Amino acid sequence: MSLAGRIAFNPSIQKVTARYWYPFFTRLGGNNDVFLNMGYEEDPPMALPLAASDEPDRFFINLYHRTATQADLTGKRVLEVSCGHGGGASYLMRSVRPASYTGLDLNRAAIEVCRKRHHLPGLDFVQGNAEDLPFADQSFDAVINIEASHCYPSLPRFLGEVARVLCPGGDFLYADIRRRDRIAEWEAVLADAPMRMLSQTDITAQVLRVMKLQHSYTRNQDRLSDPMPAFLRGLTRHAVRACDSQMSQGLQNGEFSFRIYRFTKD
């Protein structure tokens, strides 16, 4: 789950976390992690061919790849809303060959990190709000959003902005998680989106498969706490591991549902 989701799955707390904790985490040195999303793995394994530098992030890359490749992005103008530290943007720019890729995030510190770390032709990063995208109408052929919309104050407003910046025939490629008692609300909002849903896939089992590979998540948990001052490091590791354990149990018993979607703008 995203870092905000690990800390708490209360919607009000998530929004505060997204606005204040993410920048704090980034400025402490959390930019050492270029992926903040949960992992994904299939059975049999996806076995994506990866560069050696990408290999430690294989499971997190898998989720990006599975979501983004619902459509052919070759030669397209792509926007990722809530790009975090830019790991997914870098991977997709190198692997699916869009004409351009713009990563946007509310966290100004994260955008600074992205600009310093990821240097590829056609890849750029912009600070901005998911509910008030700083782009002209019909600017993009595809919009990607991965494990972030649960932090937004207004999902309907975000979806309206996605539709506005998409060209006719453009794709919205979307992945996120919801607690069981919020799924009906989520589904209702998506049903009213100003775009047409082409597909919906429950990937809870594939996400849970990674969480059961404890060595992967233990490594990621430690990386999340590494930037912290020494007096916070142990407490942070304990809190993150406890929340991941709770999330794993929740995915297994149906308390949470993780899904990916593809929408198109007619």
Residue-wise pLDDT for 113-172, tens only, equals 999 999 999 999 999 999 999 999 999 999 999 999 998 999 999 999 999 999 999 999
Give percent above pLDDT 90 in the chain. Answer: 69
Q: How far apart are CA 170 and CA 193, in angstroms?
A: 14
Of 204, 250, 254, which is closest to residue 38 (Cα–Cα)? 204
The pLDDT value recorded for residue 5 is 45
Range(s) of the domain holding residue 54: 3-264
Q: How far apart are CA 12 and CA 20, in angstroms?
A: 13
The dihedral region occupied by 152, where left means phi > 0, alpha psi between -120 and 50, and beta the remainder, is beta
The answer, yes or no, to whether residue 2 has pLDDT greater than 50, is no
CATH number, domain containing residue 55: 3.40.50.150
Where does the pLDDT of residue 218 fall: very low under 50, low under 70, confident under 90, or very high at 90 and above? Answer: very low
Count Cβ atoms within 10 A of the Cβ of residue 229 and give its class: 0-12 exposed, 13-18 middle, 19 or more buried.
Answer: exposed
The pLDDT value recorded for residue 36 is 84
The answer, yes or no, to whether residue 182 has pLDDT greater than 90, is yes
The pLDDT value recorded for residue 81 is 98
Q: How confident is the prediction for the chain on average, in pLDDT?
A: 86
**Angle of helix 214-225 versus helix 204-211 axis, rounded to 10:** 80
Q: Residue 1 to residues 112, 191, 212: CA-CA distances in angstroms? A: 23, 24, 14
Where does the pLDDT of residue 177 fall: very low under 50, low under 70, confident under 90, or very high at 90 and above? Answer: very high
Total count of domains within the chain: 1
